[in-house]
Amino acid sequence: MAQDHALAGLSNGSRLSFPLTLTDGTVIATVGEAAAWFAGLTLEQRDKGHWMIAIRMLNNALKEPNYLKTATMSLQTALILEGILASPHPLDSH
């Protein structure tokens, strides 16, 4: 059954728009896993623009669930810029 994020809101168990697999095999698939990942960042990392944007977008999604896809894509971008997103992306068809 598909969750209606606009009505239900988001929780730690809410699924991201798509899972993100890291080079070490870790999979970030839920809002809670993304939040835990952000919590593990150093202050130096959090000061980088791509992490600031990813954190801000997740906070926006928590207030307005329609932003979840943007938040997921922002996290994906930050992981790419850090060189830790597995490649090829699992959703790539080639």
Q: Name the pLDDT band for 88 (thresholds 50, 70, 90).
A: low
- What residues contact 89, with CB distance under 8 A and at least 6 apart? 76
Answer whether 0.75 is exceeded by the pTM. yes
3-class secondary-structure state, position 19: strand
pLDDT at residue 87, rounded to an integer? 73
Where does 9-48 have alpha helices with state H?
Answer: 31-39, 43-46
pLDDT at residue 53, rounded to an integer? 98
Give the percent of the chain with pLDDT over 90: 82
pLDDT at residue 6, rounded to an integer? 44
Token reading at 2: 């598909």
